[in-house]
Structure 1
Amino acid sequence: MLYLIRHGETDWNREGRLQGRRDIPLNPTGRRQAAESARRLADVVPPATLASVAFVASPLVRARETMELLRATLGLTPEGYAVDARLAELSFGRWEGLTWPEIRAADPARAAARDRSTWTHTPPGGESYVDLAERLERWCETLSGDAVVVSHGGVTRALLVLFGSMSASEACRFNVPQNRVCVVGEGWAEWR
């Protein structure tokens, strides 16, 4: 089973800016959300079982900070987790740092193309969800047991599609919460 957790809020999340691969730290709300995610995880995974579960995070600071706060809240060593670059967020390329209204004003044709085909569209200098899913599929092949994964909204969407719990079109419209745990098995997902 996978226990998917999206990083806590950043100032860019609050402003509606696309972060992608930019390294933006958590804000105070995000730090509280990380602790809330830990409490929700403790309700799903018995504390005695946590020692046998792998913990892995995206290399981006907002995910690592969330993981460390989550582990500390659970009474675990904050730095006792793996980092995997394949869990980094979807790259939005030259759109990173912009809001959707800014993108629609500056690049209306590409923004409209993405609206028509979000899963397959590649932003300028970025990657598509198809690219992200291929990267994550290679990561999934390395799984050998249950894992707590702290990553990003795009990564969560792609994993939900890969595990068959959501269609690509549903995933593209899904707003991934930042203080919840998504328990994922083959063909199903449950938010806690």
Structure 2
Amino acid sequence: MTRLALLRHGHTTWNRSGQIQGRSDIPLDERARAELAGYDLPEPWGAATLWSSPLSRAVETAQLVTGRDPQTDGALTEMNWGDWEGKRGLDLIEQPDSGYRHIEDWGWDYRPPAGETPAELWNRLVPWLHGLTGDNLAVCHIGIMRVILAKAWGWDFSGPAPFKVKRNRLYILDLSPMRAEADPVRLVQKVP
């Protein structure tokens, strides 16, 4: 059996201000570092093969939670938000001509200006997913998680999502055939 647990990276200053990060390499903020250092993986995920996006916020999250250096793969790099990187989604949604939409209205072919569609992101992920064996943990980004979970849940980015991506939780999937467990698993507090 091949399983994959997905973990979203910790907060950055851009997350907290509502800015779209995409491929911009924004580091974790100090509050996130302190919080993540207090967490550990639930069993049996401590022994899983550890993967990460090459972006520093994901690599450092993996290191803080596991105490190990992850293998990185470019397929796990966040969705390319093109011209919207650095901008706030709330500001874009207020501009009727911006083209910005809430996730429930995307569809698989929704493209930010000079960016990447969810379908293109999925195509980028498929070779990496097919190369996995055993238990794997990937520390990555909300866009990566949404695309993988959308496929696992059979959601087409139309209407409310059947899942909500939260921090400090593992979203676990069986990959053959692809299906997601209904409830995420919380990280555990380290014992002082």
**Could you tell me the TM-score, scaled by structure 1's length?**
0.82
CA RMSD of aligned residues (A): 2.4
- Out of 50, 64, 67, the position equivalent to 1:69 is 64
Q: Would you tell me which structure has more helix in proportion to its own residues?
A: 1
Aligned position for 2:18: 16
Q: Would you tell me which structure has more strand in proportion to its own residues?
A: 2
Q: Percent identity?
A: 31
Give the alignment of 1:25-40 within 5 angstroms.
25-35=27-37, 38-39=39-40
Give the alignment of 1:2-151 within 5 angstroms.
2-35=4-37, 38-39=39-40, 41=41, 43-45=42-44, 50=47, 53-72=48-67, 78-79=68-69, 81-105=70-94, 108-112=97-101, 116-151=105-140
State the shift of 1:118 in Å: 4.5
Relative to structure 1, the CA distance from residue 109 to residue 69 in structure 2 (aligned partners, 3 Å threshold; closer, same or farther) is closer
Q: Aligned equivalents of 2:31 and 2:63: distance in 1?
A: 15
Instruction: Judge conservation of contact 1:133–1:158 (CA < 8 Å) in 2.
Output: yes
Query: What runs of 5+ residues in structure 2 fail to find an aligned partner?
Result: 186-192
Q: Report SS of the residue matched to 1:110.
A: coil
Query: What runs of 5+ residues in structure 1 fail to find an aligned partner?
Result: 73-77
State the shift of 1:166 in Å: 4.8
Q: Aligned equivalents of 2:10 and 2:81: distance in 1?
A: 19
**Could you tell me the TM-score, scaled by structure 2's length?**
0.82
How many residue pairs match? The answer is 178
Give the alignment of 1:138-177 within 5 angstroms.
138-162=127-151, 164-169=152-157, 173=161, 174-177=163-166
State the shift of 1:110 in Å: 1.3
